[in-house]
């Protein structure tokens, strides 16, 4: 079984990085990566967690104990869209389609509520008459000047 330092060195190379660029990617100094790759120091848990965070396609089992493949198969297959496009573009398209569907449903619900409100206004007008100033029990129904909808107003004095 290979040492963890050798696995880190293989990973840096497989990802197309140098110790400097790899260190920048995970937020570590080039010297920290270099001493690990050269075998002069073993990586700590924090270093390994950073690698797995910034490179989620890397198998934790392989990195930490040397079992399995370097890259997780499910991730590498999922990242390749069937038509050759990028995974991010595919996800973005799905999210946008979901938002469009939600917008259509919301607009339909708003339209139905507007129809209910108009129906209730007609019923009120038919019941109370078309008067803009009816005063049952110290309240008054008036037509709002901007919306032309009935509203209840409390009488003062």
pLDDT tens for 64-112 read 998 889 998 754 444 444 445 567 777 777 788 778 888 888 888 988 8
pLDDT recorded at residue 34: 93
Position 156 confidence tier, pLDDT thresholds 50, 70, 90: low
d(CA 54, CA 122): 62
98 contact partners, CB below 8 Å, separation of at least 6 = none
pTM comes to 0.47
pLDDT recorded at residue 139: 55
Q: Are 94 and 87 in contact (CB under 8 A)?
A: no
| Sequence-ordered strand ranges (E) for 8-149 | 139-143
pLDDT recorded at residue 83: 46
More confident residue, 90 or 43: 43
Q: Over the chain, what is the mean pLDDT?
A: 81
d(CA 12, CA 35): 13
pLDDT recorded at residue 25: 92
What radius of gyration, in Å, describes the C-alpha atoms of the chain? 33
């Amino acid at each position: 079984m290979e040492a963890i330092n050798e696995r880190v060195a293989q990973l840096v190379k497989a990802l197309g990085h140098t110790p400097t660029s790899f260190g920048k990617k995970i937020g570590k100094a080039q010297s920290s990566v270099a001493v690990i790759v050269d075998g002069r120091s073993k990586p700590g848990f924090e270093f390994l967690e950073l690698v797995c965070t910034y490179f989620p396609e890397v198998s934790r089992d392989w990195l930490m104990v040397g079992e399995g493949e370097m890259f997780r198969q499910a991730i590498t297959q999922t990242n390749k869209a069937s038509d050759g496009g990028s995974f991010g573009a595919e996800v973005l398209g799905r999210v946008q389609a979901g938002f469009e569907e939600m917008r259509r449903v919301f607009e339909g619900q708003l339209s139905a509520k507007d129809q209910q409100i108009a129906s209730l206004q007609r019923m009120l007008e038919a019941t109370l008459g078309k008067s803009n100033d009816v005063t049952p029990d110290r309240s008054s129904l008036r037509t709002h000047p901007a919306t032309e909808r009935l509203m209840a107003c409390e009488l003062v004095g």
